[in-house]
Amino acid sequence: MKRCALLLLLCAACPAGLEEQSHISKLRVLGVRADPVELLLQADAGLPATTLSAITASPDGGAVTVRFALCTQITSAPDPSLDCPGDAGIDLPAVDALSARLDLSDPRIVAFAAAAQVDAGVFDAGGLAAALDDGVPLLVGFNAGDELRGFDTLTLRTDAHGPANANPQLLDVTVEGDPAAGAKVRLQPVTGPKDDPAKHYLFSFFATAGSMSSLHSTDTTSTGESAPTWVDWTAPSTPQTVQMWVVLRDGRGGIASLSRSVQVH
């Protein structure tokens, strides 16, 4: 799924005095994972489906329920006020508290697509049909808790350009150094092998306390050279248990995440 990394990059450059984007002080949705990553249309295979799962983080670790909907506005840049889930969305059946199933064979989605064709909408020839080989974005909206709302997109395409992307593997995050109060340690994400060496990985780091040297790291520079993926984390000045999250994006809609606790002494 395509992610809104630009917003995070802009927020990382906000003026001093504002809360760091890497600090988890309230409920956040850090990303939405799709399994499989893309909705792939294949001959004689029926309409595709995927499971959407919210990657959530909160300082208290409390239970949260996330509601998903397929938005009836076909765009990758929605108006923040779009009522989806709501009147502008087709609610998706829940799998569990954080996940839902998007199945294009759902009669409600089939009816929506048929109506769009009748009304000369984006599903007509020259619209969606002409773009399917390259992929078109489907907009998904979500609600988490009582107030948190957001959007994500996933790609619907044919298999003209090969099989569906696979989510990356984030195996571990090692802490290199002694996490004493006020100390600086190194956080090193550990990944599985890439299914495509040309993928560029972007890591995002979050914690309930302490300070990250950077919100992001990447394994490839803008000039194509290899880059270190670690960041430094300065522990808080008092002993406590800190919860951390690392989110990995592969630049093609794939996402993985991992959380761990660090005891500061």
9-13, 52-56, 207-211, 229-233: least confidently modelled range: 9-13
Determine contact, residues 141/68, Cβ cutoff 8 Å: yes
- CB hemisphere CA count around 165 (13 angstroms): 27
Q: Which fold has domain 170-264?
A: Immunoglobulin-like (2.60.40)
Owner of token pair 């992307």: 165
CA 28 from chain centre, in angstroms, equals 12
In the prediction, which pLDDT does 4 show? 41
Q: What is the DSSP letter of 213?
A: S
Question: Mapped to the 3 state alphabet, what secondary structure does 31-87 carry?
Answer: EEEEECCCEEECCCCCCCEEEEEEEEECCCCCCCCEEEEEECCCCCCCCCCCCCCCC
pLDDT value at residue 45: 81
Residue 86 phi/psi, 5-degree rounding, is 145, -150
Mean pLDDT within 29-39? 96
Residue 79 is predicted with a pLDDT of: 84
Per-residue confidence band for 129, with pLDDT thresholds at 50, 70 and 90: low
Give the whole-angstrom CA distance, residue 76 versus residue 29.
18
How far is it, in rounded angstroms, from Cα 264 to Cα 211?
13
Structural domain boundaries in the chain: 5-158, 170-264
CATH classification code of 5-158: 2.60.40
Residue 36 binned pLDDT confidence (cut-offs 50, 70, 90): very high
Asked whether the predicted pLDDT for residue 42 surpasses 70, the reply is yes
Lowest mean pLDDT among 134-148, 174-188, 222-236: 134-148
Rg of the chain (C-alpha set)? 20
Res 191: pLDDT: 97
Report the chain's mean pLDDT, rounded to a whole number.
87
Residue 123 has pLDDT above 90, yes or no: no
Alpha carbon distance 22, 206 (integer Å): 4
pLDDT bracket for residue 147 (50, 70, 90): confident
* Confidence at residue 251, expressed as pLDDT on a 0 to 100 scale: 92
% residues pLDDT > 90 (the chain): 67
* Token couple for 139: 């907009």
The pLDDT, as a whole number, for residue 253 is 93
Q: For residues 120 and 74, which has the higher predicted lDDT (pLDDT)?
A: 74
Asked whether this chain's domains 5-158 and 170-264 adopt the same fold, the reply is yes
Dihedral (CA of 40, 44, 47, 50) sign = negative
The answer to whether 246 touches 261, Cβ cutoff 8 Å, is: no
- Look at 46-55, 110-119, 254-263 and tell me which has the smallest mean pLDDT: 110-119
Q: In this model, does residue 2 exceed pLDDT 80?
A: no
- pTM of the predicted model, to two decimals? 0.85
For residue 250, give the nearest of 203, 189, 217 by alpha carbon: 203
How does pLDDT run across 75-98, given as a tens digit for each residue?
Answer: 667 888 899 999 999 999 999 999
Going by pLDDT thresholds of 50, 70 and 90, the confidence category of residue 133 is: confident
3-state secondary structure of 220: strand
* pLDDT, average across residues 135-159: 90
